[in-house]
């Protein structure tokens, strides 16, 4: 049974998804959860792309000790230097350096001859080898590169010091048969290929990213790359949770396994979805809410008699619990702490105090709290960090089908000055946002608004995600409350605070697709 390394790029390629805007604190939460999931390599970002990305990669490399943290770099000394400075305190610092190899990229993007591309690749690997114990080299757009040229450049970068060779399907173009054959060709035609691990990085433009990744494993790849929930640029990347469960369920076929803690999959998926604002489709394999639902009468009858008639994956395998114990208003600090520890949350005293206080405040209105409710509360408090440029104090909305909707808001600013405003709108949410805009005193453009419940039931929490343009900066925000309108207001204020407290540090950063 071969061990396949899982390379997670949620924090780099995944964050390049349109509309995703994670701050350093949110990246750290995801990084810690990826560590609990057991990924072998974590691509924390692109250090040379911006000061904020550099600091985020540096902090993650310092904190994460149970997997190798890597950063992306172009074939430039300045990029490699930035990556080393960010990663050098990591447990096993490694570099992921790339250059485009296909004729279309050589001609139109790099404007280099094949010989110049080889020389640039070799020089960058040799330079990086003076710092990094492990270097991964990627041939951007490998699938549209001549195989003979690809074999030549791979041989030379291996001699220069590369220890992992990544052959990405950068534009999601290949069929699984073609992609697998490319790996077989390199294994047969690169003389020193036995010195490296071959890696597969697949995009999902034609819906075949996971299939291509599994095909690469069949043809000798020892590492696959992807993201949680398959997020990423354009149609996204290979969904790591799908590949991991496929190896587990079909182990007799693939003769390969991963070291992922599969029962952490659902928690990881939910966290990434919550922080990125990218909703998981109900029919998404492994982690969708319908993944283990059976509506057909024939299916229900079969499952009741014997689960394996229609269920090849048990919910418990990926961390979906069917019997969540609930807490209520009479639950004390000890029970609350024990429950959070059982859910895998280790909080600081400040985080625990804020979470417990929020739980007690909400328990005056809400009778029972499930695992989903507690997770939502904890994540809101962990990420709030007690900081706010603006803080919502009270909200009142007057609505009637024959009346003009009016919202009244009271909030405090950074200097704790109390602001009172009222405004009208075509609906309740518009009236609230018009009022908040008056309080803040700056024109704000709402670019996206989404709402969902954290679970079923009338007393479920409303979770609202917004994207705004504020002071020329695009920012996302989240709000959680039992009341939809309160959650909407909180999400809007959260988006503004993110600009004022976090995003002003962020420079425009380069976006790359491997």
* 428-449 tens-digit pLDDT: 999 999 999 999 999 999 999 9
Q: Which helix (H) or strand (E) holds 502?
A: none
Mean pLDDT of the chain: 91
For tokens 């692109």, what's the residue?
46
For residue 230, what pLDDT band results from cuts at 50, 70 and 90?
very high
For residue 503, what pLDDT band results from cuts at 50, 70 and 90?
very low
In the chain, what percentage of residues exceed pLDDT 90? 68
pLDDT number for residue 240: 98
Mean pLDDT of 35-63: 97
pLDDT number for residue 296: 47
For residue 341, list its beta bridge partners: none
pLDDT number for residue 231: 97
CA 48 to chain centre: 20
Q: Over 70: is that where the pLDDT of 297 sits?
A: no
For tokens 């996971």, what's the residue?
210
- Pick the closest to residue 90 from 35, 51, 25, 139 (CA basis): 35
Q: Over 70: is that where the pLDDT of 304 sits?
A: no
For tokens 């000055």, what's the residue?
417
pLDDT digit string, tens, across residues 160-203: 999 999 999 999 999 999 999 999 999 999 999 999 999 999 99
For residue 341, what pLDDT band results from cuts at 50, 70 and 90?
confident
Q: Over 80: is that where the pLDDT of 1 sits?
A: yes
The more confident residue out of 326 and 388 is 388
Q: How far apart are CA 234 and CA 386, in angstroms?
A: 35
For residue 309, what pLDDT band results from cuts at 50, 70 and 90?
confident
pLDDT number for residue 501: 76
For tokens 């090849």, what's the residue?
312
Mean pLDDT of 271-276: 91
For residue 295, what pLDDT band results from cuts at 50, 70 and 90?
very low
Q: Over 60: is that where the pLDDT of 507 sits?
A: no
Mean pLDDT of 386-410: 90
pLDDT number for residue 307: 67
Beta strands in 187-324 (DSSP E): 197-202, 223-226, 256-257
Q: Over 60: is that where the pLDDT of 76 sits?
A: yes
Q: Of the given ranges (110-119, 240-249, 429-438, 454-463), which has the lowest mean pLDDT?
A: 454-463
Q: Over 70: is that where the pLDDT of 318 sits?
A: yes
Mean pLDDT of 199-227: 98
For residue 272, what pLDDT band results from cuts at 50, 70 and 90?
very high
In the chain, what percentage of residues exceed pLDDT 70? 93
pLDDT number for residue 502: 63
Q: Over 80: is that where the pLDDT of 398 sits?
A: yes
Pairing assessment for the beta strands 223-226 and 405-412 based on DSSP bridges: unpaired
Q: Of the given ranges (134-138, 233-237, 299-303), which has the lowest mean pLDDT?
A: 299-303
pLDDT number for residue 387: 67
Checking 347-354 for CB contacts under 8 A at 24+ apart, the result is 347/378, 347/382, 350/386, 351/378, 351/381, 351/382, 354/381, 354/384, 354/386
The more confident residue out of 303 and 233 is 233
For residue 395, list its beta bridge partners: 409
């Amino acid at each position: 049974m071969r061990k396949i390394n899982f390379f997670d790029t949620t924090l780099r390629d995944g964050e390049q998804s349109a509309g995703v805007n994670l701050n350093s604190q949110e990246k750290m939460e995801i990084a810690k959860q990826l560590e609990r999931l057991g990924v072998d390599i974590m691509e924390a970002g692109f250090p040379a792309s911006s000061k904020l990305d550099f600091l985020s990669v540096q902090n993650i490399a310092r904190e994460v000790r149970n997997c190798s943290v890597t950063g992306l770099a172009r074939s430039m000394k300045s990029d490699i230097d930035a990556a080393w400075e960010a990663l050098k305190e990591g447990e096993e610092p490694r570099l992921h350096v790339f250059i485009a190899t296909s004729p279309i990229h050589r001609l139109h993007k790099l404007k280099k001859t094949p010989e110049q591309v080889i020389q640039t690749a070799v020089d960058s690997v040799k330079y990086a080898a003076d710092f990094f114990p492990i270097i991964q080299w990627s041939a951007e757009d490998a699938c549209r590169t001549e195989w003979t040229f690809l074999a030549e450049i791979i041989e030379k970068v291996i001699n220069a010091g590369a220890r992992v060779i990544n052959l990405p399907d950068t534009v999601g173009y290949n069929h699984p048969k073609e992609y697998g054959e490319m790996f077989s060709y390199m294994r047969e035609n690169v003389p020193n290929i036995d010195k490296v691990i071959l890696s597969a990085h697949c995009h999902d433009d034609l819906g075949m990213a996971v299939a291509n990744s599994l095909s690469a494993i069949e043809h000798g790849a020892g590492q696959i790359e992807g993201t949680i929930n398959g997020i990423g640029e354009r149609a996204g990347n290979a969904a790591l949770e799908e590949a991991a469960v496929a190896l587990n369920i079909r182990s007799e076929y693939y003769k390969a396994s991963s070291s992922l803690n599969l029962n952490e999959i659902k928690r990881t998926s939910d966290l990434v979805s919550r922080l990125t604002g990218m909703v998981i489709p109900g029919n998404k394999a492994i982690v969708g809410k319908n993944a283990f639902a059976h509506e057909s009468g024939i299916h229900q009858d079969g499952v009741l008699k014997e689960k394996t008639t229609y269920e090849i994956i048990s919910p418990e395998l990926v961390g979906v619990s069917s019997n969540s114990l609930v807490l209520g208003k009479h639950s004390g600090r000890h029970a609350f702490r024990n429950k959070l520890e059982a859910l895998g949350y280790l909080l600081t005293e400040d985080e625990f105090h804020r979470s417990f206080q929020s739980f007690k405040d909400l328990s005056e209105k809400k009778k029972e709290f499930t695992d989903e409710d507690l997770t939502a509360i904890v994540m809101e408090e962990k990420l709030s960090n007690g900081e706010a440029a603006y803080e919502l104090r009270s909200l009142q909305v007057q609505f009637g089908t024959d009346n003009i909707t009016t919202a009244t808001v009271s909030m405090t600013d950074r200097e704790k000055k109390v602001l009172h405003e009222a405004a009208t709108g075509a609906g309740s949410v518009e009236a609230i946002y018009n009022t908040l805009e008056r309080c803040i005193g700056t024109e704000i453009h709402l670019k996206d608004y989404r709402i969902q419940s954290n679970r079923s039931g009338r007393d479920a929490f409303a979770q609202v995600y917004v994207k705004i343009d504020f002071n020329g900066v695009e920012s996302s925000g989240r709000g959680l409350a039992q009341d939809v309108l309160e959650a909407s207001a909180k999400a809007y204020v959260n988006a503004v605070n993110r600009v004022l407290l976090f995003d002003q540090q962020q420079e425009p950063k380069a976006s790359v697709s491997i």
